[in-house]
Amino acid sequence: MGAKLTQGIWARIARIILRNRILILLAIASVTVFMGFQWQNMRFSNSEANLLPDDHPINLEYQEFVKRFGEEGNAIVLAVRDSALFEPGNFRRWNTLSKQLDAFPEVDFVISTDNLQQLVRDQEKNEFVLKPFLERPPESRQEVDSLANQLFNNLPFYDNLLFNKDSRTIRTVVYMDKDIINTSVRKDFVLRDLTNLVNDFEEETGLNVRVSGMPYIRTMSSQSIIDEIGKFIFAALAVTSLIFFFFFRSIRATVISIVVVIIGVMWAFGTLGLLQYEITVLTALIPPLIIVIGIPNCIFLINKYQQEVKKHGNQALSLQRVISKIGNATLMTNVTTASGFATFIITDSTLLKEFGIVASINILFIFILSLLIIPIIYSFMSLPKTKHLKHLNKKWIDTFVNWMERMVRERRIAVYLVSISALVVSIIGIYQINISGSPIEDMPKKAEFFKDIRFFEAEFDGIMPLEIVINTKREKGVMKPATLKRMERLSEVIRETPELSEPVSMVNLVKYSKQAFYNGIPKYYQLPTSQENTFIMDVAKNSRGNSNLLSTFVDSTGQYARITTYIQDVKTDRMEAIEQDLVENAAKIFPEERYEVSFTGKALLFLKGTKYLVKNLIMSLALAIGLIALFIAYLFRSFRMVVISLVPNLLPLVITAGVMGYVGVPIKPSTILVFSVAFGISVDDTIHFLAKYRQELIANRWRIQKSVYAALRETGVSMFYTSIVLFFGFSVFIISSFGGTVALGALVSATLLFAMLANLILLPSLLLSLERSIANKEVLKKPQIDILPKEETPKKPKQK
């Protein structure tokens, strides 16, 4: 009853589409224009992807830190490592660059050799005052050398902040206005104003300026995403249309398919604008994904149309059957693909949730567009010519199908041995997979800004901020000598960790105060003794108001202190070991009853976010498998069929995970997507094959062997076509400069290739080997939905 009802519904849909062709085309055009107007609402992401939900304890702790001390990632750093910088003209030009940057409203303040302040003791007034390091521009090389000597040897306070003593690298720190750090104003400043000033400086001096810092990295990374969207869309169109033309050898069929997917891309961008979602590294992949997933829909529909035309030459009946029969099958396969993406919606990550919503909606959109546009356009055209149908009789396709049938018929033992061996080897590989919490691992390795990241990492021992907050549990507790000594002990632990940079905190200012008290002698850069403390600490407190930079290291009540260090780009297990070591040492140094120590910062936020995301994505993959298993159970009403159908789809996922372990591709937000995406797509082939298999069972009076071979021959060609398109379509992501996108493209392509072989060889082999187990009443039950209704071949019209 259900199957007949389904057939009736689809027959009615076919009549509605073919009788309202003009109206439907006008409706599609209107929706496309509407979606085009939504493009103006599209926004590229200006903030970092937060992988943790807003109410997660680690996120709440970070937000509390930002509220207390302000945005941590608001500094852009410029550096030069070249002895030519100490030429008087170049040195003056470097200081001029600092002045130019400080003049912009987007900049809060700048710390550089131009405005560097020295803390000195005024002997007459017996107080500390801030004296400019540079009283006048130097005129000679001797003056510059004297200044450099004073900077490198007498001002340890600024070591690792403004210079590297060993390499004599000088840098300028530009602190941006915290209110615009996550807006498009930051992007305009970095790409236009900052870039122009740096280019002018380099042209005038011939020096190479290195630029980095979180605002700069985020801006350049976002710009790389923008630059790649057009490249992906063009590459996906070119590759898929070339393969399509190679298979069909029809320009009009190729053009029709391109029109369908281009409209699908326009709708995808429109959906992003309509929902006002930001374009991120993930949502930027959706338009090319729509092309890659949309072309197989076109292949199924056009292939069916040409088969029907070849069979009986009746155009109206051919178009009606394309909609009523293939329409139902493509709906089922698109629903399973959309389900794979829709499972991301259950994660608490906004980044993944938006990706899942837009991707799943537009996969269904591209199905609707394919089903409407292809039959309607063909209805206005003449019947395909004989040359357009030649691809249906290609000898190499017959050779491929014969090879598959021979493998299934004669080499089933070998198929199982290879499958089991691949499973065992892959499981061993899985144990070698690491989880990556590095925020820069996926960034474009050849980009200049990435090379600059590595430069600053080598010169200043880290790029990602790690923050330690000490709550003294009483007002002005930070300035107590006991607290400062404990902070210094923890700072020593940080210094002994090679992956961490020199820590900066209130301790540094207090040390600098003692040095100033003793007339700037560098050896006195240390914490004051108990006898010295009273006078020096009072002066240090008074001096805090004169420094924009250091006032951020103690909150307004004096209860909370902050120690800032930077961590290098290290492996996740090493980062966790560093965190654990710091936590254990902090617990020993700061008694729990008197202090409360917490760890936060972008480095930890990304690490925790990655691990949280991996757990969520494993859940979403499990949900995808569960949903699709229920879907197959509903279609075929057989538990055994569910188990048999899942085996050839889960094995490729295990093989891909094993490959990741062997080649050293870590689990990270970009690569974990592979499994849900690939599973949702590969299961389409399984549904097509099993649907045709059941149809053949009915036609062949439940003779399993004959039905399996017939289904293999019938569906093998279409499955091969679509798998090849998907393989090369996803392969276009390999041209990306982002490591995560490259891994996503390569791994999905490989998984789909493994899945095609599993569905065409392993699945039929299992059906034949388990013939007695599944040849029972459970399998003979009538399905809830006939995906591929029984064929009725009409007589060819009589020739006049």
The pLDDT of residue 73 is above 80: no
For residue 366, the model assigns a pLDDT of 93
The predicted model gives 654-662 an average pLDDT of 88
pLDDT tens per residue across span 194-208: 999 999 999 999 999
The predicted model gives 339-355 an average pLDDT of 80
For residue 420, the model assigns a pLDDT of 92
Nearest residue to 558 via CA among 452, 654, 660, 477: 477
The predicted model gives 619-640 an average pLDDT of 76
For residue 327, the model assigns a pLDDT of 76
For residue 776, the model assigns a pLDDT of 47
Work out the pLDDT band at 798, boundaries 50, 70, 90: very low
Domain count, the chain: 1
Spatial neighbors of 719 by CB under 8 A, at least 6 apart, are 685, 688, 689, 756, 759, 760
For residue 1, the model assigns a pLDDT of 46
Compute CA distances 629 → 170, 633, 635, 645, 788, whole Å. 61, 6, 10, 8, 19
Work out the pLDDT band at 794, boundaries 50, 70, 90: very low
What dihedral do alpha carbons 147, 152, 157, 159 form, nearest 10°? Answer: 130
pLDDT tens per residue across span 251-263: 888 888 889 999 9
pLDDT tens per residue across span 213-232: 888 888 888 788 777 778 88
Structural domain containing residue 685: 2-47+220-431+606-780
Name the more confident of 326 and 537: 326
For residue 209, the model assigns a pLDDT of 92
* 3-class DSSP assignment, residue 112: coil
Residue 331 lies in a domain: yes
Residue 751 lies in a domain: yes
- Within 598-735, residue ranges assigned H as helices are 602-636, 639-663, 669-699, 704-731
Residue 114 lies in a domain: no
For residue 365, the model assigns a pLDDT of 93
Name the more confident of 395 and 633: 633
Nearest residue to 641 via CA among 772, 768, 778: 778
Residue 529 lies in a domain: no
Q: Of the given ranges (94-98, 351-355, 371-375), which has the lowest mean pLDDT?
A: 351-355
How crowded is the C-beta side of 388, counted as CA atoms within 13 Å? 18
Name the more confident of 297 and 534: 297
Residue 668 lies in a domain: yes
Residue 493 lies in a domain: no
The pLDDT of residue 70 is above 80: no
Q: What percent of the chain has pLDDT over 70?
A: 89
CA separation for the pair 36, 702 (Å, rounded): 52
The predicted model gives 50-63 an average pLDDT of 78
For residue 277, the model assigns a pLDDT of 85
What dihedral do alpha carbons 242, 246, 248, 252 form, nearest 10°? Answer: 40
Token pair in block for residue 656 = 């891909």
For residue 396, the model assigns a pLDDT of 66
pLDDT tens per residue across span 279-328: 877 788 888 888 888 888 888 788 778 777 777 778 788 888 888 777 77
Residue 478 lies in a domain: no
Work out the pLDDT band at 48, boundaries 50, 70, 90: low
Residue-level length of the chain: 800
**Which of the given ranges, 357-361, 737-741, 773-777, has the highest pLDDT on average?**
357-361
Are the C-beta atoms of residues 122 and 129 closer than 8 Å to each other? yes
Residue 424 lies in a domain: yes
Q: Of the given ranges (70-79, 160-169, 625-634, 774-783), which has the lowest mean pLDDT?
A: 774-783
- What CATH number did the domain enclosing 628 receive? 1.20.1640.10
Residues facing 109 on adjacent strands: 175
The pLDDT of residue 361 is above 90: yes
Cα radius of gyration (the chain): 33
The pLDDT of residue 549 is above 50: no
Q: Which one-letter DSSP state was computed for residue 737?
A: S
Are the C-beta atoms of residues 617 and 670 closer than 8 Å to each other? no
pLDDT tens per residue across span 688-732: 787 777 777 777 777 777 888 888 877 777 778 778 888 888 888
Work out the pLDDT band at 138, boundaries 50, 70, 90: confident
Work out the pLDDT band at 81, boundaries 50, 70, 90: very high
The predicted model gives 23-36 an average pLDDT of 93
For residue 710, the model assigns a pLDDT of 81
The pLDDT of residue 780 is above 70: no
- What is the identity of the amino acid at 514? K
Are the C-beta atoms of residues 100 and 227 closer than 8 Å to each other? no
